[in-house]
Amino acid sequence: MRLSSKTPLSGHGAVSNPDSRFLRQTRSADECSGNHPSEEAPLTAAKLNVTYEQAKSIISYNQSPDIPFDRSVNAYRGCQHGCSYCYARPTHEYLGLSAGLDFETKIVVKENAAELLRHEMSRPNYRPAPIALGANTDPYQPLEQQQQITRQILGVLAELNHPVMITTKGSLITRDMDLLASMAAKNLVSVMISIGTLDPEIARRMEPKAAAPHRRLAIIRQLSEVGIPVGVIVAPIIPALTDKDIEMILQLAKASGASMASYVFLRLPLTVKDLFVEWLESNYPDRAKHVMSLVRQSRGGRDNVSEFGERMEGQGVFADLIKQRFSKAHGRLGYQESVSLDTGLFSPPKPVKRQMDMFDE
């Protein structure tokens, strides 16, 4: 059921809750509310709804040439941060839920994630390579404070000396500096903090439940001071909205201790495009058309491009200008490309035969 709001919703990045694209039948707000077609059913802020699942597998593998890892672990489905641009939103539709408000408020916790990770790493054919946390949903979203699934996962990785790459915009990562520092001493961890804007008002509207920009810079400093390799991802770069901050983000992050840096141009796959345009029109109506015009100019006339090699950076005059600006600041500030983590210390756990293993043979 698609419900829309013309005004921003406090604490949410989405301003609507469209049906999953996999549902066979949909209902309009008018059908459900009994309103006249010219009237809109009001949409109000939604409460958090948490459910739990026993996942059947936990390591997701990919063959993408434009990301620096081939495997990832996601402890949660959905993300409370509510970022209006989040490319992971469409994954909620596989659950029959909305990529809109449902993605931010109906969170699924994979409560057996750590146990399952240990089991999958005990298989004789498992070969270690850095695992990414935060590739889809943020491992340090607010719910992690109570659930501690990410900390449990880190505990397994630390025990087995398995390398991990973490991406987050959540302040809760500082809770785990004890584990991260001990892993860093063995060259087993790197962290990337995502900062897309330095404007606190834009950040509040765009990423309503994520840490504020100044707090993320402080996190970089805290991690760096205890020897944890940390970098910054300038993401997403949104033309005519956040691109003005590229150089300053890189400069402030470097001064805070960041040693690595990368960027991602705004991506709008599937349902994300409509949700993001709604957010733009609700929050920045005066520049919405200009933003989307520049996006299309950078995507070959389309709203989104999914091809490898292009989806992260875009193409065309504006995208090339962004690339040049980032590259010049990156070189001038002395950033390194990445950290090569150690896979040679991995100590696999003793295999534990589980009932479901008969289906893997």
Give the up-direction half-sphere exposure of residue 247: CA atoms within 13 A in the CB hemisphere.
Answer: 9
Domains of the chain: 29-42+49-344 (3.80.30.30)
**Which residue matches tokens 């590259």?**
327
Mean pLDDT of 23-28: 53
- So what's the pLDDT on residue 306? 83
Total-model pTM: 0.90
- So what's the pLDDT on residue 1? 37
Please determine, for residue 285, whether its predicted confidence score (pLDDT) is greater than 70: yes
- So what's the pLDDT on residue 24? 58
CA distance 311 to 307: 6
Which residues, other chains included, contact 324 with Cβ-Cβ below 8 Å and sequence gap of 6+? none
- So what's the pLDDT on residue 4? 42
Please choose, from the candidates 262, 230, 229, the residue with its C-alpha nearest in 3D space to the C-alpha of residue 330: 262
Which residues, other chains included, contact 208 with Cβ-Cβ below 8 Å and sequence gap of 6+? 10, 11, 12, 13, 81, 82
- So what's the pLDDT on residue 44? 67
Amino acid, res. 261: A
Mean pLDDT of 194-210: 98
Contact 150, 75 (CB under 8 A): yes
Confidence of residue 356 (pLDDT cuts 50, 70, 90): low
| Residue 180 CB neighbours (<10 A) | 26
Mean pLDDT of 41-67: 88
Q: What is the DSSP string of 20-64?
A: PTT-S---BHHHHH---TTS-----PPPPEEEEE--S--EEE---
- So what's the pLDDT on residue 46? 81
**Residue 292 to residues 38, 221, 235, Cα–Cα distance (Å):** 27, 35, 17
Please determine, for residue 35, whether its predicted confidence score (pLDDT) is greater than 60: no
Q: What is the largest CA-CA distance in the chain?
A: 66
| Residue 16 CB neighbours (<10 A) | 21
| Residue 51 CB neighbours (<10 A) | 11
Please determine, for residue 31, whether its predicted confidence score (pLDDT) is greater than 90: no
For 73-105, write each residue's pLDDT tens digit.
999 999 999 999 999 999 999 999 999 999 999
